[in-house]
Amino acid sequence: MPNDTPRITILGAGPAGIACAYALTKDGRADVSVIERAPVAGGNAASFQAEGIWCDFGSHRFHPASDPDVLADVKDLLGKDLLLQPRHGRIRLGGKWIHFPLKPLDALLHLPKKFGFSLVFDSLAKPFRRSSGERTFSSVLYDGLGPTISESFYFPYVRKLWGLEPEKLAVTLAERRISSGSVGKILKKMLRTLPGFGDETAGRFFYPRRG
């Protein structure tokens, strides 16, 4: 009796390749082979050990707000090896190292007063701020967050990460990557990190026990 199960070969054992293989095989829909040229799977999301410490090839986090079906699959695969870890990110603003995501007390103590007042002004001025012309990465950030945080943080970040001016990036990148559409939303996210204001996942991310 012939075997009608399709045979599929996937090139690359990065997150996309592994996810495709898992989706195709978990219900027996295909006989899948994954080919990876590197000695380990994971692609840019893989980890390596340096003096006994797990380090990531890329700066990636698996957020609790991820697609529920994807999150369920990852939890099913990793079980107790999927840990909920606190975020300890830092950014440089106004010559100071501050927590990222922003934390209210830390921001109050370390952000320059002029910077803080400018953020408040930008938030109040948002209803009157509209860029003319074609929407771009730059205009979306400028309209949504205001000039202060755009020019002090996001625009330099873009130049460092992509080596391009913000105006040259597609608007979809801003819409997908920038979760906070206003300074007010940033403040709400900051409050979620305080006890009693958010759930247990606020300011945390999922990370495998061994990288």
Q: Encode pLDDT of 100-134 as tens digits.
A: 766 667 777 787 788 778 877 887 887 777 767 77
DSSP letters spanning 80-95: GGEEEEE--EEEEETT
For residue 210, count other CB atoms closer than 10 A to its CB. 9
Tokens of 107: 């921001």
Between residues 113 and 76, the one the model is more confident about: 76
Ordered by start, the domain boundaries in the chain are: 7-60, 90-192
Domain at 90-192, CATH class: mainly alpha
The pLDDT score that the predictor gives to residue 194 is 59
- C-alpha dihedral, 87 to 88 to 91 to 93, nearest 10°: 100
Nearest-10 crossing angle of helices 155-162, 137-145: 150
Q: HSE-up of 167 (CA within 13 Å, CB side)?
A: 3
* pLDDT tens track for 130-184: 767 778 888 888 887 788 888 888 888 888 888 888 888 888 777 765 555 455 6
One-letter amino acid of 79:
G
The pLDDT score that the predictor gives to residue 142 is 83
DSSP SS3 for 164: coil
Highest mean pLDDT, choosing among 50-59, 67-76, 125-134: 67-76
pTM of the predicted model over 0.75: no
What average pLDDT does range 190-211 have in this prediction? 68
pLDDT class of 45 with cuts at 50, 70, 90: confident
What average pLDDT does range 76-85 have in this prediction? 88
Q: What is the DSSP letter of 37?
A: S
